[in-house]
């Protein structure tokens, strides 16, 4: 707290004089956090302390921290702002009120006069080492076989603009997979240059061409729901969104370079839905090996799990395919 004394004014009246001094005006500023909200993550079996919160008091006053809110009964807070689970978090036995491994609290900072509150969400992620996951190989790539518990499906938002050029990730894929037929089917963009309007695209699932971008859908080869139940659902919302938009959990990957995206028609995409290869394969049998390679590559690169039936199905068909790896896909110019 800072005390500010306002100087009084002197006045003389007739033969006498007098003075007055204004009462001290005390001003106090509330404690502040360095963010308006916090999204924190901790993996089970890695301890109980969750860090990442900073706070201060503009006046240098001592600050007392406390917590409240939905899941405050399973957490405590230290004097330096770290949050601690009272018992080590267990992904397989969540203790939050919604039982979805997301713990929501309000963190309060008080200087004795004023209090500031900030919402905090802590996501507990899975440690696959205690899930009985086994290491295997498909098409020369390391894969993990097992099953994992995930929260209820919450589809991540799609089609951001990863490289900030006004062309969304969907339209980047349309540009990359356009087939111009030696100039017979040029790619036509909108007047703004931000949207694809017409061109030519081959749906490899059923070997049908499409000529209007509005008739083309971008399929996630490993569907978002399948990815979710294979482990994506246990990651942070920012990683889920990155994967949904770029086909990769790795920062900086551009969507047109991902083998998890295909420009297809609504018919084949709707028929496929969220199925895995045990439930659906493309009608175009000539594309089966490429499809399975894309599936395996996507799951391998992003460490998504295969269930046993899925692994066995692909392994049984691996010998029908050549051993050539998929080519790297270039970025759009």
Q: Please check the confidence at residue 11 and state whether its pLDDT lies above 50.
A: no
The backbone region for 81, taken as left when phi is positive above 0, alpha when psi lies in -120 to 50, beta otherwise, is left
Instruction: Give the pLDDT of residue 5.
Output: 36
The C-alpha R_g of the chain, in whole angstroms, comes to: 29
Instruction: Give the pLDDT of residue 91.
Output: 87
* Cβ count near 127 (within 10 Å): 16
Distance CA 39, CA 122 (A): 6
Distance CA 271, CA 49 (A): 46
Q: Please check the confidence at residue 113 and state whether its pLDDT lies above 90.
A: yes
Element (H, E) at 288: helix 288-301
- Beta pairing, strands 261-265 & 196-203: unpaired
Looking at the chain, the whole-number percentage of residues with pLDDT higher than 90 is 82
The average confidence (pLDDT) of the chain is: 92
Handedness of CA 260, 262, 264, 268 (dihedral sign): negative
Task: Please compute, for residue 110, the number of CA atoms within 13 A of its CA located in the half-sphere on the CB side.
Answer: 10
Distance CA 96, CA 105 (A): 10
Instruction: Give the pLDDT of residue 132.
Output: 66
Distance CA 106, CA 37 (A): 9
Query: pLDDT: is 98 or 295 the higher one?
Result: 295
Token reading at 327: 């080519």
Listed in sequence order, the residues at least 6 apart from 201 whose beta carbon sits closer than 8 Å to its beta carbon are: 174, 177, 178, 179, 209, 210, 211, 216, 263
Distance CA 6, CA 25 (A): 7
Distance CA 314, CA 94 (A): 33
Contact call for residues 280 and 221 (beta carbons, < 8 A): no
- Residue of 219, 199, 314, 222 whose CA lies nearest to 268: 219
Instruction: Give the pLDDT of residue 21.
Output: 65
Best-predicted range by mean pLDDT among 84-98, 133-147, 266-280?
Answer: 266-280
Distance CA 135, CA 142 (A): 7
Fold of 32-125: Immunoglobulin-like (2.60.40)
Listed in sequence order, the residues at least 6 apart from 17 whose beta carbon sits closer than 8 Å to its beta carbon are: 10, 11
Q: What are the tens digits of pLDDT across the range 65-99?
A: 999 999 999 999 998 999 999 999 998 889 999 88
Q: Where are the domains of the chain?
A: 32-125, 129-318
């Amino acid at each position: 707290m800072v005390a500010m004394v306002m100087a009084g004014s002197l006045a003389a009246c007739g033969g006498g004089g007098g003075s007055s001094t204004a009462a001290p005006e005390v001003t106090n500023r509330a404690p502040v956090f360095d963010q308006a909200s916090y999204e924190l993550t901790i993996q089970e079996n890695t301890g109980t302390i969750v860090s990442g919160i900073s706070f201060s008091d503009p006046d240098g006053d001592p600050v007392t921290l406390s917590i409240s809110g939905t899941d405050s009964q399973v957490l405590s807070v230290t004097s330096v702002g770290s949050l601690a689970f009272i018992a080590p978090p267990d992904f397989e036995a969540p203790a939050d009120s919604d039982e979805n491994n997301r713990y929501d609290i309000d963190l309060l900072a008080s200087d004795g006069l004023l209090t500031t509150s900030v919402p905090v969400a802590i996501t507990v992620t899975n440690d696959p080492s205690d899930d009985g996951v086994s290491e295997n190989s498909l098409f020369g790539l390391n894969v993990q076989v097992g099953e994992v518990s995930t929260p209820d499906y919450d589809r991540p938002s799609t089609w951001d603009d990863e490289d900030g050029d006004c062309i969304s990730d969907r339209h980047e894929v349309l540009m990359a997979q356009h087939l111009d037929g030696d100039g017979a089917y040029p790619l036509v963009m909108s007047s703004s240059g931000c949207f694809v309007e017409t061109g030519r695209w081959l749906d490899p699932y059923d070997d049908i061409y499409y000529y209007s971008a509005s008739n083309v859908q971008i399929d996630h080869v490993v569907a978002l729901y399948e990815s979710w139940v294979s482990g994506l659902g246990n990651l942070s919302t920012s990683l889920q969104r990155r994967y949904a938009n770029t086909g990769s959990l790795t920062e900086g990957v551009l969507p047109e370079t991902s083998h998890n995206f295909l420009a297809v028609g609504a018919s084949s995409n709707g028929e496929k839905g969220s199925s895995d290869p045990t439930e659906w394969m493309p009608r175009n049998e000539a594309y089966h090996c490429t499809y399975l390679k894309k599936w395996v590559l996507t799951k391998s690169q992003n460490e998504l799990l295969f269930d046993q039936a899925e692994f066995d199905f692909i392994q049984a068909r691996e010998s029908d395919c050549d051993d050539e790896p998929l080519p790297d896909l270039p970025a759009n110019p």
